[in-house]
Structure 1
Amino acid sequence: MPKKPNLAAALNDASKKPNRSQVSKKIEPLENSDNDANDKIPPSRRGKKAITVHFDPAACKQLKQLAMDEETSIQALMTEALNDLFEKYGKNPIA
C-alpha cells in the first residue's frame, strides 16, 4: 500500500513564497494600459467619481419607486437632489 502524503507538509510547502530565482517570468508593464482601462468604462461614467452613501432600506425602496413613477433614473434624481443642495448653500449647481 502506498504511503499517504503528509497534509501538514503539503500545506507548509504551499504557503512558502518562491525565491526570486525561482520566478522565471518577468512582468512587463502593458503599453497604453490607461487606454485599455478607459475602454471598459462606459462613456457616461468617464471622468466621473462615484459617491457611495448608506441609507435605510425604506429610503432606497422609496427612491427606486420615485424613479419608476417619474420614468427617470436614480442617477437623474440624485443629480437633481445634489444640485438643489448646492443651490441651498449658495454653491454652483454642477452635478
Structure 2
Amino acid sequence: MTKKTAGNSLQAMLDRASSAEEGPVAAATPSGMAGARPRGRDRAATETAGGKQIKPSRVGTKMIGGHFPPEISMQLRMIAAEEDTTVQALLAEAIADLLTKKAGRKIAR
C-alpha cells in the first residue's frame, strides 16, 4: 500500500521509512544482496546513536569547504599526485600555515 503525500519531501521520506519497516526487506533489496557486506565507502562506516554513518577517521572532526574555480581543483590534485599525498593533507597544511601566519597559533597536523 502506497500513501500519497502532498508537498513535503521530508514527510515523504518518513512515510517511506515507516512503510519499509512494515513491509518485507527482500522487496527493497536486489535478489541475492540481502545480508551482503557493505563495499567501498560504507565498509568502514560506524553508526551513531542517530543512525547516521560516520567513518572512524572522521569522528571528532568538522567539514570545512569552499567553492573554487576548476583550475584550483586540478592544480591541487596534481600537486597531491606528485607528492604522493591527498588534497585533504595539502589543505590541512595550508590551513595550518595560515593559522600560524595570521593568528600566531600552532596546530597539530
TM-score range, shorter chain: 0.5 to 0.7
Task: Tell me if structure 1 keeps the 8 A contact 2:99–2:105.
Answer: yes
* Superposition RMSD in Å: 2.7
Question: Which structure's residues are more often helix, by fraction?
Answer: 1
TM, length-normalised to structure 1: 0.59
What's the CA shift for 1:34? 1.4
Pairwise mapping of residues 53-64 of structure 1 onto structure 2 (< 5 A)? 53-64=66-77
Task: Tell me if structure 2 keeps the 8 A contact 1:67–1:74.
Answer: yes
1:47 aligns with 2:70: no
TM, length-normalised to structure 2: 0.52
1:85 aligns with 2:98: yes
| Alignment match of 2:49 (pick from 29, 34, 44) | 34
Structure 1 runs of 4+ with >4 Å offset: 14-17
| Structure 1 unaligned spans of 5+ | 1-13, 18-24, 26-31
- Give the SS at the match of 2:49: helix
Asked which structure has the greater RCO (Cα within 8 Å, sep 6+), the reply is 1
| Structure 2 unaligned spans of 5+ | 8-17, 19-46
Give the equivalent residue in structure 2 for 1:7: none
